[in-house]
Structure 1
Amino acid sequence: MQNNRLLDIKNGYNFRELGGYKTIDGRHVKWNKILRSGELADLSEDDLGFLEKYGIKYDIDLRSDSERNKAADKLPGNAKLVANPIFNSGHDKTGADYAEQYKYDANRGKQNMILSYQSMVTSESAKQAFHKLFMTLLNNDGGAILFHCAQGKDRTGLSAAFLLFALGVDEETIKQDYLLSKDAMKPYIELKIKQFSKYGMNDALKQNLNNLYTVDESYFNAAMDTIKENYSTVDNFLHQFIGLSDNDIDKLKSLYLTD
């Protein structure tokens, strides 16, 4: 199978490989082992066939229960679903509710995104979910693992970042992987603006939709700054917040890095 960063999925958003990134000690993340993506609810038969051929063994769904119930994943082949919500509330509003919430203050979307990123590195639900994600990665005895949220950019973006940190990839490379979602999400933003137009589009709502459905360096930095304020280093965060031991990190490297 050809190694590509952005995967050829027609009925989904932001399906990407984490293989190929170089670690500080000169190794590389293995290809065809770890995928990150948006939700799998709308996948075509061709998309499912592509992922089955990829060898997906676990589909780790980081969305809330309400999100999963509204748009259940379609699973490729014999993949096992792992329900693992980082947040299990706050995703049950209607489109009209969201339009009303974001119609008046153009900065509200960006402010809420920054608060969300800070919560993902401090809340108990996120702590438990990241630990479960890593335990699934550690217990993988073969095949590929896919993890995702709704758009594959925020909950998924930080999950990918923490995994790459644990594997020994440098922070700048990790940030650039995170920021790849900016271009990947442009068609999705256009779709959301079109969908929300029925509620009465104005400049504030349009700006908020752009901020809510993209990624931004300020979001990533909000999480990293909070981690460093509370734990000094990301390595301490991986150990103390997520609960990884030195042996866990060594095993992750043996599973997901080239020799």
Structure 2
Amino acid sequence: MPKRKRNLVFALSLCALSTAGLTIGTSAADADQRSVAAGQTAHASHVPGRPAAVLDASVTFESGVYTVSWRGGRSQITVVASNDPDSTVAGKTVGSGSASGSIRVRGLDPNQRWYFHLRRTRGDIVVVSTQGLGLVNAPNLRDLGGYRTGDGKRVKPGLLFRGDSMSDLSDSELAMVARLDLSKVIDLRTPDEVAHHPDRLPPGVQHVSDSVFDPEDPYATGVVSALDEAKTFELMGYASGGYLGMNAELGGAPRPTYAYRKLFAEIVQAQGKPVLFHCSVGDDRTGWAAYVLLRLLGAADSDAVDDYLDSNTFNHDVLVDYTKRYKSLGFTQDQADLSLKASYIHAALKAAVQVYGSFDDYVRVGLGLTAEDVKTLRAGYLTA
């Protein structure tokens, strides 16, 4: 079994077989998989102080070359590269262009994380960076910055990160994570997962253990034979049934809700400092957390779902390997398809609404967040 996906089916089966009382279903529209964004693209974050003169901006990275693009500006644009998302920090001018255009940037240190500041003479316009960090041993570790909110603000880059297990980071990858200046890492894995594959963290970063699953359940700990695994995979309705069951559990069951209550309390307490939360692969337990966080910050449901589906890109190699494994056990391609679908995250949302009455009540009652808590989150992690 591929190491990075070793507990997925155990987790799927745990949730799929324990969702009694929750009605799982989706609309026909929700059942269609949404398009997946390119893994190394990003959204722009408008810097506080002035109305945005750039309507849209993005950056892609391929074969050592960054391509920074923008459209909708009203004047000449200067692009400055920096290792810091803070617009007040000086950087290196890497190009310029007209009100709409693009530049290609070569020669930047690949072991650094780069933020591109698009400026005009009166100050910064937007800050943009790649979504993913490009870590081979933590491929789903990425920045939540750049998403637009309903009131025109954006999630600040370089402050909120979601990810997968960090136990296998190389020394150079650990150095890159250190440069994120994280205040804390919130680990949603079980104690068994943490004990067998502890995170490699920079000195001084607080590690917060916050298991979403019941650590005493044998499926959560992975104590199950290959025969049991195949049989359980069939009983739970194959990959799709497992994912629907898991997400219903994540959104509506008491144990996960308690864990997410702790997660969001930790993020509120960080008061705008850089935070990372993760599980083993970064798509399920972390996926629901990221979806809820983006919605709390004011992002549209469609953007929060797209962020969830981006795991299909970042975890592509893992998904391919795991699908091959289940096909070798006699399952069809459709049965073994472990890629994420919009209907899965909407199953979590439907369960939360079913239990609490509305998404707002899930936030208020389930997660225990007050209006002041949400205000604190937005003040710390959104542009002004």
What's the TM-score, normalizing by structure 1? Answer: 0.90
Seen in structure 2, the aligned counterparts of structure 1 residues 227 and 145 have a Cα distance that, compared at 3 Å, is: same
- Pairwise mapping of residues 187-202 of structure 1 onto structure 2 (< 5 A)? 187-193=317-323, 196=325, 201-202=328-329
Seen in structure 2, the aligned counterparts of structure 1 residues 103 and 168 have a Cα distance that, compared at 3 Å, is: closer
Stretches (4+) displaced over 6 A: none
Structure 2 segments unaligned to the other structure (5+ residues): 1-82, 84-114, 116-128
Shift of 1:233: 2.7
Structure 1 segments unaligned to the other structure (5+ residues): none
Partner of 1:258: 383
- Distance in 1 of aligned mates of 2:271 and 2:236: 47
Shift of 1:192: 3.0
- Distance in 1 of aligned mates of 2:273 and 2:309: 27
Structure 1 residue 132 corresponds to structure 2 residue 257: no
Partner of 1:114: 244
Structure holding more strand per residue: 2
Partner of 1:83: 209
Shift of 1:8: 1.7
- Distance in 2 of aligned mates of 1:25 and 1:224: 23
Question: Does the 8 Å contact 1:105/1:204 carry over to 2?
Answer: no
Encode CA deviations 1:190-248: one digit per residue, 9 max, x unaligned.
33356x47xx814417655432xx31112112112222333343122111111100110
- Give the count of matched residue pairs: 254
Residue 147 of structure 1: SS of its match in structure 2?
A: strand
Structure holding more helix per residue: 1
- Distance in 2 of aligned mates of 1:43 and 1:101: 34
Question: Does the 8 Å contact 2:233/2:239 carry over to 1?
Answer: no
Residue 36 of structure 1: SS of its match in structure 2?
A: strand
What amino acid maps onto 1:154 in structure 2? D
- Distance in 2 of aligned mates of 1:134 and 1:40: 21
Partner of 1:58: 184
What's the TM-score, normalizing by structure 2? Answer: 0.62
Partner of 1:49: 175
- Pairwise mapping of residues 219-258 of structure 1 onto structure 2 (< 5 A)? 219-258=344-383
Identity of aligned residues (%): 26
What amino acid maps onto 1:215 in structure 2? L
- Pairwise mapping of residues 179-190 of structure 1 onto structure 2 (< 5 A)? 179-190=309-320
Seen in structure 2, the aligned counterparts of structure 1 residues 141 and 234 have a Cα distance that, compared at 3 Å, is: closer
- Distance in 1 of aligned mates of 2:360 and 2:307: 19
Rg comparison, structure with higher value: 2
Structure 1 residue 73 corresponds to structure 2 residue 199: yes
Partner of 1:22: 148
What amino acid maps onto 2:255 in structure 1? S
1:155 to 285, 288, 291: 285
Question: Does the 8 Å contact 2:210/2:259 carry over to 1?
Answer: yes
2:136 to 1, 4, 10: 10
Root mean square deviation, CA, Å: 2.2
Shift of 1:144: 1.2
- Distance in 2 of aligned mates of 1:9 and 1:234: 34
- Distance in 2 of aligned mates of 1:170 and 1:116: 23
